């Protein structure tokens, strides 16, 4: 039977629609919209410009790290050290600038620290075969300990001659009144999405997560790519640390504590598969948005903040269940 052009177009439209409706990212986005509409009705404080500004800015720190961590999760790995890496990179930046060096030197030192930590994690995992959970759990402790050593476990709030430049970098709004962290998140999101979808490196990442042995047999350089994704994850934490330091105007050794749970939750809620082989940059950002809306709503509705972990943990379980059901239906 000959297929007409209109039949082909209808088939593609149906395939596109079914793909959207079957996407976890789509339903998480719907949940964000629904929660926002409900909160706008339930409390007058949610839809104010000040609160929306705070929400968008707070989303960025988790989202920026989640963009890098998503690459690790797609390969079937995990990175529990991102919160401590953020703390260490923030402290390196603060200590270097406090010593009188320029903001450029401070940022370079912070980025270099992130890349070294990421490479260390990646080499232990890719070349020595150590479990990602164990390696990054160890780095979680090491990173924060090194931050304490570097600062003498004190608060750093003076950043030398470029103090104002750093505060402007993280807390300013260079374009159309949009907070700088939001601009950074959008740029990094577009870059990550392009790399994952349109480059050979991105295809190799998905291939490793789908079937590492098959990827190796087809010539994919599995070990170097694994090292690279852990370096990207650590770099994203370092960038978030630099931006957050400028936003807060001070660095303590508690900065980034517990952020690894929020980052992994954002990636998983946004559609990343913990077993590997699935995940998107857009999903990581939308997952971070849902987490921030949950966190913000607890305060506005007068709910005890201690419930935050329950809601986020429940969202993770629901996301994993959704992915399992979707995979089961596709297999049928």
**Statement: 45-266+280-300 belongs to CATH 1.10.3470:** yes
| Alpha-carbon gap, residue 75 to 183, rounded angstroms | 27
The Cα diameter of the chain in Å comes to 77
Nearest Cα residue to 82 out of 220, 250, 286, 262:
262
Digit-by-digit pLDDT tens for the chain (332 residues) are: 444 544 443 444 445 555 555 577 888 889 889 988 988 888 888 888 888 888 888 899 999 999 999 999 999 999 999 999 999 999 999 999 999 999 999 999 999 999 999 999 999 999 999 999 999 999 999 999 999 999 888 898 889 899 999 999 988 887 877 889 999 999 999 999 999 999 999 999 999 999 999 999 999 999 999 999 999 999 999 999 999 999 999 999 999 888 898 899 899 888 888 888 889 999 999 999 998 888 888 878 777 777 777 877 777 777 777 766 766 665 55
Integer CA distances (angstroms), 216 to 166, 204, 223, 284, 291, in order: 44, 10, 9, 27, 36
Nearest Cα residue to 72 out of 215, 268, 316:
268
Phi-psi region of 277 (alpha: psi -120 to 50; beta: other; left: phi over 0): left
E-state strands within the chain: none
| Alpha-carbon gap, residue 42 to 36, rounded angstroms | 10
């Amino acid at each position: 039977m000959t297929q007409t052009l209109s039949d082909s177009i209808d088939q593609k439209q149906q395939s596109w629609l079914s793909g959207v409706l079957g996407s976890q990212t789509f339903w998480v986005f719907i949940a964000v919209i629904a929660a926002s509409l409900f909160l706008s009705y339930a409390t007058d404080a949610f839809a104010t410009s000040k609160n929306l500004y705070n929400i968008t800015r707070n989303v960025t720190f988790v989202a920026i790290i989640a963009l890098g961590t998503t690459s690790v999760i797609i390969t079937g790995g995990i990175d529990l050290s991102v919160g401590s890496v953020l703390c260490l990179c923030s402290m390196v930046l603060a200590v270097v600038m406090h010593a009188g060096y320029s903001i450029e030197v401070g940022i370079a030192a912070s980025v270099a620290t992130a890349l070294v930590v990421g490479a260390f994690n990646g080499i232990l995992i890719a070349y020595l075969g150590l479990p990602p959970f164990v390696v990054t759990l160890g780095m979680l402790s090491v990173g924060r300990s090194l931050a304490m050593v570097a600062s003498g476990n004190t608060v750093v709030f003076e950043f030398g001659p470029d103090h104002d430049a750093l505060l402007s970098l993280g807390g300013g709004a260079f374009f159309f009144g949009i907070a700088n962290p939001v601009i950074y998140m959008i740029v990094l999101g577009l870059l990550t999405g392009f790399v994952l979808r349109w480059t050979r490196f991105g295809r190799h990442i998905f291939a490793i997560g789908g079937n590492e042995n098959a990827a190796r047999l087809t010539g994919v350089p599995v070990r170097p790519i694994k090292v690279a994704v852990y370096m990207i994850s650590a770099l994203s934490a370092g960038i978030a640390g630099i931006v957050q330091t400028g936003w807060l105007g001070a660095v303590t050794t508690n900065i980034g504590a517990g952020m690894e749970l929020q980052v992994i939750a954002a990636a998983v809620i946004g559609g990343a598969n913990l077993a590997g082989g699935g995940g998107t940059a857009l999903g990581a950002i939308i997952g971070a948005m849902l987490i921030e809306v949950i966190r913000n709503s607890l305060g506005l509705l007068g709910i005890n903040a201690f419930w935050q972990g329950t809601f986020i943990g429940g969202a993770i379980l629901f996301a994993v269940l959704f992915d399992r059901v979707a995979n089961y239906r596709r297999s049928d």
